[in-house]
């Protein structure tokens, strides 16, 4: 036996042992795939590891890819990369199924059928690019450069987005949008403290965390980073534990791991937050010093014209006493009392708000209410509070050179914004984007670039969006797969998968330190695909002039190098490396802000690509002053910015008259009046009262935005928590199920005013009564053999509602009824 095994090892060289275990394995050589036998005959199977950044979701984890004879066979977390420190999420592991997916687009395609007909014919790169370039040039010559729009669904803080922005600006169009857009999510922070940045939370030093629907372990910006923090915390605080309390209408992964779960009626988070504020204020549990020093609009105040304005305090005291709040939220008064006291008595204590509380028509106001709790607790610029990371010392891209065509184009109003195209607060709303395209308001869109993402699948207004896509003369999609959306494209320029391309990721939102990750090819492109970034450079060159001048790089790799070189010069931080394993924070603290010296940039570059990234955990000391960029230089309970901009809108209606203000407010779907509009307050969600149940959706780690639906492994373990594979299910509380005569595993109809879907019911008490929770991700009508026709898409029964302040879709605002499917 032994000898045989040796022989076998020889056969497979470096990659020892298809031998399972025991002494019988030798016979199992026959079980090794042909390919490997051949490789083995060729010589030793050489095993190598390459570091890169995972592109499955925006979380930007560092991954280590195992290659045997240059073919990736396994992926694990990069133990050195500070964001995930060797951790991974399920979908990261199925990345190889993206790379080797049988449904990949292998060459440029031209649509021959009608949009959505999915009939294609191949096209040579030169032909395709020339075609597009000509069109773009024509547009430009006719002063229509602004009619070129770019929709970037990557959701990623990568160089790519800046790259695109650069291109669009140089070309002369204001219409570059990210969807979903992080900028939108940060609107509340913009309104309250004037900075458009997602805060990071100092979990490690806090005693108590109150999370308003923020599912940071599952749906957050970087779940694995938070998982790491979370468990690191549990290690640190064996004795005195940090207490996690999760407020959510469904028991999310975060809620399961929290110390307490408080169910709440969807869309009423803001009210609860203010209810908590009520008690903090009443019982003097808030940070009086901070509030008096660094906040604006807490007490009632008088403006220059001598008008008295309502203060946060009196607003809260007046409207949000526990009985009232518990009537709105369904949370018992004593519970509110409890959490408020725990919050006030366990400082430093943190308050988080996201997903559940944000994805609603009143999302922005809820977030403001929740965030203002942090102000009451004085959680700024102190240990165990929240903070804002610095920007990494990356080189800015060269200043965009705008010729007069570009200037003219850029001066045009962007079409991606809400009801009035100059509403500055919001970055992008797919809803108004669509409406504007359909109504040619203020101008038609003639070219649309699509990069990654799948708006037709994600958006709540997919019908209109489809129409809009049909309307646009030229739709170009950079995509590796045929998705619902790219089916509407006229030309598809296949992109590399992230394992084949260069990119650079810096500062994932809410990750608590400065970091840069290098995404690099681990394998030669399998097919005739190209990096979209390079395509843009090429297009720029074809257009020529200032456009090519603004992207003066041979290719994307060079561009990244150019950016990274500045880090090297700055000498800040460190390339992640063996030394930083283990208890990294302390290590760097005592080691000062710089680790390691590099003789040359080439060495630096070699190292950073070898290890996968750079980081700098040391925060620059910031006075509270530079946290708040508001006009008052303080934290503004009363958002003067919001006031200013609403006033602008009012003026655009003509004069500042009562009815104009009414008009504006009603168009913004704001029910509050007077000063309340600019204060954190509770806005009731407009729901169909005749529908008895709430519909809430959530995203699973196995398939965060439906982008993993074409990976069989993820399809199979989609519902690993309730042993559901390849299909969608609806969670229903036993009481509710009883009312509707539904038992576990029954099939039910979920019906809203916009449509109905049939799916399996899972009856268990992890969702509050009268709420039906459905995971988002499946129900594709395209996107390859593994995605198509499995499960249902809850968004298809959702009402097309949006938070009109920041333009985000309201995923929790639909009410439904259910019935047993027969």
Partner 1 sequence: MPKWAMVIDLDKCTGCGDCIAACKLENNIAIVSPEEANDGRVMFWMDMITIYEGEYPNIRVKRFPKPCFHCDNPPCTKVCPVNATYKNEEGLIGQIYHRCIGCRYCMVACPYTAKVFNWLEPEWPDEFKNCFNPDVSLRMMGVVEKCSFCAHRLLKVKEDADSDEREILDNEYLPACSESCPANAIDFGDLENKESRVYNLSRSSRAYREMEDLGTEPKVIYLQKRE
- Our CB check for partner 1 shows the closer of 40 and 818 to be 40
Alpha-helix residue ranges (DSSP H) falling in 172-302 = 182-185, 187-193, 223-236, 253-257, 269-282, 288-294
Which residues share a beta bridge with 51? Answer: 64
717 near partner 1, judged by CB under 8 A: yes
**Binds partner 1 by CB under 8 A, chosen from 195, 548, 722, 796:** 722
Q: Min. distance of Cβ 389 from partner 1 in angstroms? A: 21
Q: Give the integer Cα–Cα distance in Å for 697 and 683.
A: 21
- Our CB check for partner 1 shows the closer of 9 and 317 to be 9
Asked if residue 813 lies in contact with residue 754, where contact means CB atoms within 8 angstroms, the answer is: no
Query: Please, which of residues 5-34 interact with partner 1 by CB under 8 A?
Result: 12, 15-22, 24-25, 27-28, 30-33
Which residues share a beta bridge with 176? Answer: 150
- Our CB check for partner 1 shows the closer of 131 and 790 to be 790
716 near partner 1, judged by CB under 8 A: yes
Three-class SS of residue 44?
A: coil
Q: Min. distance of Cβ 101 from partner 1 in angstroms? A: 7
Q: Give the integer Cα–Cα distance in Å for 67 and 47.
A: 6
- Our CB check for partner 1 shows the closer of 92 and 794 to be 92
230 near partner 1, judged by CB under 8 A: yes
Burial 549-586 (b: 16+ CB within 10 A, else e): ebbebeebbebbbebbeebbeeebbbbbeeebeeebee
Q: Min. distance of Cβ 93 from partner 1 in angstroms? A: 4
**Binds partner 1 by CB under 8 A, chosen from 146, 294, 733, 815:** 733
Q: Give the integer Cα–Cα distance in Å for 670 and 680.
A: 12
Name 58's Cβ contacts closer than 8 Å, sequence gap at least 6: 154, 155, 156, 157, 221, 222, 508
Query: Please, which of residues 295-334 interact with partner 1 by CB under 8 A?
Result: none
- Our CB check for partner 1 shows the closer of 27 and 48 to be 27
**Binds partner 1 by CB under 8 A, chosen from 168, 245, 247, 262:** 262
Name 624's Cβ contacts closer than 8 Å, sequence gap at least 6: 294, 380, 381
160 near partner 1, judged by CB under 8 A: no
Query: What are the E-state strand segments in 263-397?
Result: 295-296, 301-302, 308-309, 349-353, 386-387
Q: Min. distance of Cβ 13 from partner 1 in angstroms? A: 10
424 near partner 1, judged by CB under 8 A: no
Burial of 609 (0-12, 13-18, 19+ CB in 10 A): buried
45 near partner 1, judged by CB under 8 A: yes
616 near partner 1, judged by CB under 8 A: no
Task: Please state the φ and ψ torsions of residue 47, each to the nearest 5 degrees.
Answer: -100, 130
55 near partner 1, judged by CB under 8 A: no
**Binds partner 1 by CB under 8 A, chosen from 790, 796, 820, 821:** 790
Q: Min. distance of Cβ 519 from partner 1 in angstroms? A: 19
User: Which residue do the tokens 């779907």 mark?
Assistant: 669
Quote the DSSP letter at residue 204: G
- Our CB check for partner 1 shows the closer of 77 and 807 to be 77
Mask of contacts with partner 1, 168-207, x by CB under 8 A? ----------------------------------------
Q: Give the integer Cα–Cα distance in Å for 300 and 563.
A: 49
234 near partner 1, judged by CB under 8 A: yes
Chain centroid to CA 197: how far?
13
Which residues share a beta bridge with 477? Answer: 450, 492
- Our CB check for partner 1 shows the closer of 238 and 621 to be 238
The number of beta carbons lying within 10 Å of the beta carbon of residue 791 is 28
- Our CB check for partner 1 shows the closer of 146 and 265 to be 265
- Our CB check for partner 1 shows the closer of 660 and 721 to be 721
- Our CB check for partner 1 shows the closer of 56 and 477 to be 56
Task: Please state the φ and ψ torsions of residue 72, each to the nearest 5 degrees.
Answer: -65, 130
**Binds partner 1 by CB under 8 A, chosen from 54, 68, 475, 750:** 68
**Binds partner 1 by CB under 8 A, chosen from 643, 712, 753, 821:** 712
Mask of contacts with partner 1, 760-779, x by CB under 8 A? ----xxx-xx----------
- Listed residue (288, 270, 283) closest to 378, CA to CA: 288
Q: Min. distance of Cβ 740 from partner 1 in angstroms? A: 17
| Side-chain half-sphere exposure of 297, counting CA atoms within 13 A | 28
Query: Please, which of residues 74-133 interact with partner 1 by CB under 8 A?
Result: 74-77, 84, 86-94, 96-97, 99-102
Helix axes 322-329, 269-282, angle to 10 degrees: 160
**Binds partner 1 by CB under 8 A, chosen from 224, 386, 468, 516:** 224
Q: Which stretch binds partner 1 (CB under 8 A): 190-198, 320-328, 663-671, 720-728?
A: 720-728
Size of the residue set binding partner 1 (CB under 8 A):
85
Three-class SS of residue 453?
A: coil
- Our CB check for partner 1 shows the closer of 12 and 160 to be 12
72 near partner 1, judged by CB under 8 A: yes
- Our CB check for partner 1 shows the closer of 475 and 771 to be 771
217 near partner 1, judged by CB under 8 A: yes
698 near partner 1, judged by CB under 8 A: no
236 near partner 1, judged by CB under 8 A: no
36 near partner 1, judged by CB under 8 A: yes
Q: Six-digit token pair at 474?
A: 């030229």
Three-class SS of residue 575?
A: strand
73 near partner 1, judged by CB under 8 A: yes
Q: Min. distance of Cβ 396 from partner 1 in angstroms? A: 34
> Do strands 574-575 and 613-616 pair parallel, antiparallel, or not at all (unpaired)?
antiparallel
Q: Min. distance of Cβ 524 from partner 1 in angstroms? A: 13
Q: Which stretch binds partner 1 (CB under 8 A): 290-298, 420-428, 554-562, 712-720?
A: 712-720
Asked if residue 317 lies in contact with residue 279, where contact means CB atoms within 8 angstroms, the answer is: no
582 near partner 1, judged by CB under 8 A: no
- Listed residue (589, 775, 626) closest to 696, CA to CA: 775
- Listed residue (9, 421, 454, 385) closest to 200, CA to CA: 385
């Amino acid at each position: 036996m032994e000898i045989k095994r040796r022989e076998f090892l020889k056969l497979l060289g470096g990659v020892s042992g298809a031998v399972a275990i025991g002494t019988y394995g030798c016979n199992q050589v026959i079980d090794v795939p042909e390919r490997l036998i051949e490789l083995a005959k060729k010589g030793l199977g050489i095993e190598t590891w390459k570091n890169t950044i995972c592109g499955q979701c925006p979380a930007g984890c560092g991954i280590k890819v195992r290659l045997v004879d240059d073919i990736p066979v396994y992926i694990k977390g990069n133990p050195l990369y500070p964001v995930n420190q060797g951790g991974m999420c399920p979908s990261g592991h199925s990345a190889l199924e993206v790379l080797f997916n049988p449904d990949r687009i292998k060459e440029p395609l031209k649509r021959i059928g009608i949009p959505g007909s999915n009939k294609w014919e191949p096209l040579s790169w030169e032909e395709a690019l020339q075609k597009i370039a000509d069109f773009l040039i024509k547009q430009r010559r006719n002063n229509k450069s602004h009619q070129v729009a770019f929709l970037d669904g990557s959701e990623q803080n990568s160089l790519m987005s800046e790259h695109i922005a650069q291109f669009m600006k140089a070309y002369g169009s204001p219409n570059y949008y990210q969807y979903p857009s992080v900028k939108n999510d940060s609107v509340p922070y913009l309104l309250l403290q004037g900075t458009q940045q997602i805060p990071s939370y100092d979990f490690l030093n806090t005693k108590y965390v109150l999370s308003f629907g923020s599912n940071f372990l599952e749906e957050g910006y970087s779940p694995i980073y938070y998982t790491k923090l979370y468990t690191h915390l549990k290690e640190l605080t064996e004795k005195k534990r940090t207490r996690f309390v999760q407020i959510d209408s469904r028991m999310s992964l975060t809620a399961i791991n929290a110390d307490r779960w408080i169910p709440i009626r969807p869309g009423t988070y803001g009210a609860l937050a203010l209810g908590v504020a009520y008690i903090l204020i009443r019982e003097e549990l808030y940070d009086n010093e901070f509030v008096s020093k660094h906040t604006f609009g807490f007490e009632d105040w008088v403006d220059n014209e001598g008008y008295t304005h309502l203060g946060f305090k009196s607003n809260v005291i007046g409207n949000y006493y526990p009985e009232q709040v518990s009537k709105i939220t369904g949370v018992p008064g004593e519970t509110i009392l409890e959490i408020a006291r725990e919050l006030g008595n366990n400082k430093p204590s943190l308050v988080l708000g996201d997903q559940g509380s944000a994805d609603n028509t009143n999302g922005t106001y809820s977030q403001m209410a929740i965030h203002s709790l942090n102000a009451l607790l004085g959680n700024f610029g102190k240990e165990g509070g929240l903070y804002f990371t610095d920007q990494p010392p990356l080189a800015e891209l060269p200043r965009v050179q705008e010729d007069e065509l570009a200037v003219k184009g850029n001066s045009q109003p962007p079409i991606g914004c809400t009801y009035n195209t100059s509403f500055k607060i919001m970055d992008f709303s797919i809803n108004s984007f669509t409406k504007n395209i359909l109504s040619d308001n203020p101008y038609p869109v003639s070219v649309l670039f699509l990069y990654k993402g799948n708006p037709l699948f994600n958006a709540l207004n997919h019908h209109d969006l489809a129409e809009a896509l049909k309307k646009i003369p030229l739709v170009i999609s950079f995509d590796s797969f045929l998705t619902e959306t790219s089916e509407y494209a006229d030309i598809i320029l296949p992109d590399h998968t992230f394992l084949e391309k260069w990119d650079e990721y810096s500062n994932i939102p809410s990750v608590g330190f400065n970091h840069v990750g290098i995404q690099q090819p681990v394998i030669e492109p399998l097919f005739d695909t190209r990096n979209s970034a390079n395509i843009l450079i090429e297009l720029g060159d074809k257009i020529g002039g200032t456009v090519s001048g603004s992207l003066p790089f041979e290719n994307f790799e060079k561009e990244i190098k150019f950016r990274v070189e500045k880090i090297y010069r700055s000498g800040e931080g460190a390339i992640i490396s063996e030394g930083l394993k283990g208890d990294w924070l302390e290590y760097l603290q005592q080691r000062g802000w710089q680790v390691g010296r590099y003789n040359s940039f080439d060495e630096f570059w070699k190292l950073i690509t070898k290890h996968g990234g750079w980081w700098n955990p040391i925060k620059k000391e910031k006075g509270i002053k530079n946290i708040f960029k508001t006009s008052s230089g303080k934290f503004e309970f009363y958002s003067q910015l919001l006031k200013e901009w609403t006033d602008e809108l009012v003026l655009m209606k003509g004069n500042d008259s009562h009815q104009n203000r009414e008009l504006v407010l009603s168009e913004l779907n704001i029910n509050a009046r007077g000063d309340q509009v600019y204060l954190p307050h509770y806005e009731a969600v407009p729901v169909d009262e005749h529908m008895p149940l709430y519909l809430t959706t959530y995203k699973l780690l196995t398939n965060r935005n439906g982008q993993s639906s074409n990976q069989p492994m993820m399809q199979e373990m989609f519902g690993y928590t309730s042993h559901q594979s390849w299909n969608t299910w609806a969670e229903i509380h036993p009481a509710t199920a009883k009312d509707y005569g539904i038992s576990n595993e029954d099939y039910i109809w979920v019906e809203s005013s916009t449509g109905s879907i049939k799916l399996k019911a899972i009856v268990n008490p992890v969702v509050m009564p009268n709420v039906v929770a459905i995971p988002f991700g499946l129900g594709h009508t395209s996107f390859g053999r593994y995605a198509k026709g499995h499960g249902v898409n809850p968004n298809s029964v959702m009402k097309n509602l949006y938070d009109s302040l920041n333009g985000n879709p309201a995923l929790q605002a639909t009410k439904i009824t259910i019935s047993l499917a027969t």
